[in-house]
Amino acid sequence: MKIEWLNSELFLRENSPLRVTRASGIRVFCLQGTVWITTTGQSEDIFLHGDQWHEIDSAALTLIEGVGEARIRFERPALVRAAARRWCRLRDEWVKRMRESLARISRTGRAASGRDSLA
């Protein structure tokens, strides 16, 4: 069974680690409690408390466990940044076309018609 875990909240318990692989670029947000994160090949463990986050920077096995009970959320910020860049490009293109249309109107005194009005 495939579980969609991005942008979902998960409840963690002590002694029940969540095994995550190929999660490079994923952010783990601690929403409640304390979370322990350890990644294969990295010497330092991470401890998160409420409202803190950590971005996983390895595709290796990462274990995530609650110290007591904890609640976390996973997000992929790279997708958010890519979407924001795309919207900015679309906005910039729209502004450029609107300025060109307004310049034509000011030169001719009338709006362009048909397909060429925003092209």
Task: Report the pLDDT value the prediction gives residue 104, as an integer from 0 to 100.
Answer: 83
In a domain, 114, yes or no: no
In a domain, 4, yes or no: no
Task: Report the pLDDT value the prediction gives residue 12, as an integer from 0 to 100.
Answer: 93
- In this structure, are 89 and 70 located in the same domain? no
In a domain, 83, yes or no: yes
Task: Report the pLDDT value the prediction gives residue 46, as an integer from 0 to 100.
Answer: 96
Radius of gyration, alpha carbons of the chain:
24
- In this structure, are 17 and 54 located in the same domain? yes
Task: Give first-to-last CA distance, the chain, whole Å.
Answer: 48
- In this structure, are 91 and 37 located in the same domain? no
For residue 2 the two structure tokens come to 């495939």
- In this structure, are 101 and 86 located in the same domain? yes
Query: How buried is residue 82: exposed, middle or buried, by Cβ count under 10 Å (0-12/13-18/19+)?
Result: exposed
Band (pLDDT 50/70/90 cuts) for residue 73 is very high
- In this structure, are 36 and 65 located in the same domain? yes
Output the domain CATH number for residue 70.
2.60.120.10
Task: Report the pLDDT value the prediction gives residue 107, as an integer from 0 to 100.
Answer: 78
Tens digits of residue pLDDT in 31-69: 999 999 999 999 999 999 988 999 998 889 999 999 999
- In this structure, are 85 and 68 located in the same domain? no
Task: Report the pLDDT value the prediction gives residue 1, as an integer from 0 to 100.
Answer: 39
Task: Report the pLDDT value the prediction gives residue 47, as an integer from 0 to 100.
Answer: 97
Of 95 and 8, the structure prediction assigns the larger pLDDT to 95
- In this structure, are 20 and 48 located in the same domain? yes
- In this structure, are 105 and 83 located in the same domain? yes
Q: Where are the beta strands (DSSP E) in 50-88?
A: 53-55, 62-66, 70-75
Average pLDDT in the chain: 83
In a domain, 118, yes or no: no
- In this structure, are 65 and 40 located in the same domain? yes
Q: Which domain holds residue 34?
A: 9-75
